[in-house]
Amino acid sequence: MTSNGAGSRIRAKTPLVEIDGDEMTRIIWKMVREQLVLPFVDIQLEYYDLGLPNRDQTDDRVTVEAAEAIRKHGVGVKCATITPDEGRITEYSLKKAWPSPNGTLRALLDGTVFRKPIVVKNVPPMVRSWVKPITIGRHAYGDMYRSAEMRIRQPGKAEVVFTPDDGSEPQRVLIHTFTLPGIVRGVHNLDASIRSFARACITFALTEKCDLWFSGKDTIAKVYHGAFREIFRQETEARQADLDAAGVHYSYLLIDDAVARAVRSPGGFLWACMNYDGDVMSDMVASGFGSLGLMTSVLVSPDGKFEYEAAHGTVTKHYRQHQKGEPTSTNSTATIFAWSGALGKRGELDGVPELVEFARKLEQSVIETIESGTMTKDLASIAAPAPPRHASTEEFITAIAERLRSKVETGAPAR
């Protein structure tokens, strides 16, 4: 096959699980696959259409099949998908409001989501000291997100009561003796979930060769946060030799200290966050680094399965313009990095260095295109210096394809 005019395409050994999606990102998806991937790489794509019409048609079985395929092959790349609400049920005449595909994939792969920004020179971060990406790993189980709450309106005693199944004596802890109206909340977590989270974080830090932080408030929540800290200690200790070999340093930090340090740091670390902290910090880091179009996301399971995607949604507003035949300027950077992440990982796992090299060249082509002043509207509005005009969705991808082709043809090694 000589479709790129530079000799044969790079041949991959194992199929890649390709998960298609909805709206504007579905349009971008096809352009990226046809212009930036298939002309250069000979890879078997095992295709799952998670576009909302097909999820409805298959009663959402296709989502489960896609998760099973990732479990089998090890690596997947996913387009953004609609999580249906009432409006979508009408718009797509759905049988029901199918659950969030990402929630289903996360549950079936027992995975942790890592969000990592793409750093380009002419889109300066809001925080001056940040020169390298800060990745947020969010524990996506329990705490406030699966809690029981109660409004207290009269004097009385609130307790935590645990009643063993075996009929033995219940355990009780007093929360508060109320004399005035107030509120209470009960939260929980599971050792197994915390351990999976710790393992996924260690796997990610080893892959990226970046330092690992875990933060909590065990000075106050001695039992609850203390259990998280202890499990992280056990898991990092068990992998100490690997961490040392990769030059990865683990540290436990109090959450307030971690926040202060993160803002003054140059970046370049993975910050493992408890559920609520991760919810808040991932949005802080995303906006601090510039644009949603520059934020990638990877789901890592504790046994080393990887699913790559853009952190943003299907960009509905731009799709509405596209449907009316109006020009769009949607940033495909995070979608392209999902593909490069997946191809690079496939190459790494299969021992195909050419594929790893290609993935780096693809990423460099994107970064150089933006740094040379060709960028979509979202970046043009925050870039320094501002470009004279912004590129359309198609122009941006075409410019990347040209740069990539010349990189592949000259055969220069990736930087």
Residue from 65, 68, 159, 279 touching Mg ion (CB under 5 A): that is: 279
Q: Which is nearer to Mg ion, 257 or 283 (CB)?
A: 283
Strand ranges for 258-409 from DSSP E: 269-273, 295-300, 306-310
Minimal distance, residue 410 CB to ligand NAP, in Å: 30
Residue 176's beta-bridge partner residues?
158
Task: End-to-end CA distance of the chain: give it in Å, rounded.
Answer: 27
**Is the distance from CB of 309 to CB of 81 less than 8 angstroms?**
no
Residue 138's beta-bridge partner residues?
113, 273
Q: Which is nearer to ligand NAP, 80 or 119 (CB)?
A: 80
Crossing angle (nearest 10°) for helices 333-350 and 23-32: 50
Contact between 91 and Mg ion by CB under 5 A: the answer reads no
Among ligand NAP, Mg ion, none, the one that 55 touches (CB under a kind-dependent 5 to 8 A) is none
Q: Which is nearer to ligand NAP, 104 or 331 (CB)?
A: 331
Q: What CA–CA distance (Å, rounded) separates 123 from 33?
A: 26
Please identify, among the stretches 31-39, 65-73, 282-290, 318-326, the one whose residues bind Mg ion according to the rule CB under 5 A.
282-290
Minimal distance, residue 283 CB to Mg ion, in Å: 4
* Matching residue, tokens 């990610």: 204
Q: Which is nearer to ligand NAP, 102 or 275 (CB)?
A: 102
φ/ψ bin of 28: left (φ > 0), alpha (ψ from -120 to 50), beta (otherwise): alpha
Q: Which is nearer to ligand NAP, 355 or 366 (CB)?
A: 366
Minimal distance, residue 319 CB to ligand NAP, in Å: 9
Minimal distance, residue 273 CB to Mg ion, in Å: 11
Contact between 145 and Mg ion by CB under 5 A: the answer reads no
Q: Which is nearer to Mg ion, 244 or 283 (CB)?
A: 283
The alpha carbon torsion through 365, 370, 373, 377 (nearest 10 deg) reads 140
Q: Which is nearer to ligand NAP, 277 or 309 (CB)?
A: 309
Among Mg ion, ligand NAP, none, the one that 313 touches (CB under a kind-dependent 5 to 8 A) is ligand NAP
Residue from 191, 256, 283, 354 touching Mg ion (CB under 5 A): that is: 283
Among Mg ion, ligand NAP, none, the one that 279 touches (CB under a kind-dependent 5 to 8 A) is Mg ion
* Peptide bond before residue 385 is cis, with ω within 30 degrees of 0: yes
Residue 269's beta-bridge partner residues?
134, 211
Among Mg ion, ligand NAP, none, the one that 378 touches (CB under a kind-dependent 5 to 8 A) is ligand NAP
Contact between 144 and Mg ion by CB under 5 A: the answer reads no
Minimal distance, residue 317 CB to ligand NAP, in Å: 4
- Relative to beta strand 16-20, strand 45-49 is parallel
Q: What CA–CA distance (Å, rounded) separates 51 from 26?
A: 8
State whether residue 27 is helix, strand or coil.
helix
Q: Which is nearer to ligand NAP, 314 or 374 (CB)?
A: 314
Q: Which is nearer to Mg ion, 211 or 279 (CB)?
A: 279
Minimal distance, residue 306 CB to ligand NAP, in Å: 15
Minimal distance, residue 180 CB to Mg ion, in Å: 33
Q: What CA–CA distance (Å, rounded) separates 398 from 151?
A: 58
Q: What CA–CA distance (Å, rounded) separates 84 from 61?
A: 16
Please identify, among the stretches 193-201, 244-252, 254-262, 283-291, the one whose residues bind Mg ion according to the rule CB under 5 A.
283-291
Going by C-alpha positions, the residue among 115, 68, 3 that lies closest to residue 401 is 3
Site of interaction with ligand NAP (CB under 6 A): 80-83, 102, 292-293, 309, 312-317, 330-331, 378
Minimal distance, residue 14 CB to ligand NAP, in Å: 25
Q: Which is nearer to Mg ion, 92 or 276 (CB)?
A: 276
Please identify, among the stretches 9-17, 25-33, 220-228, 274-282, the one whose residues bind Mg ion according to the rule CB under 5 A.
274-282
Minimal distance, residue 378 CB to ligand NAP, in Å: 4
Strand ranges for 262-329 from DSSP E: 269-273, 295-300, 306-310
**Buried b vs exposed e over 272-306: b needs ≥16 C-beta within 10 Å?**
bbbbebbbebbebbbebbbbbbbbbbbbbbbebbb
Minimal distance, residue 80 CB to Mg ion, in Å: 16
Among Mg ion, ligand NAP, none, the one that 215 touches (CB under a kind-dependent 5 to 8 A) is none
Residues 6+ apart with CB under 8 A from 275: 138, 139, 140, 141, 142, 143, 144, 145
Residues that bind Mg ion (CB under 5 A): 279, 283
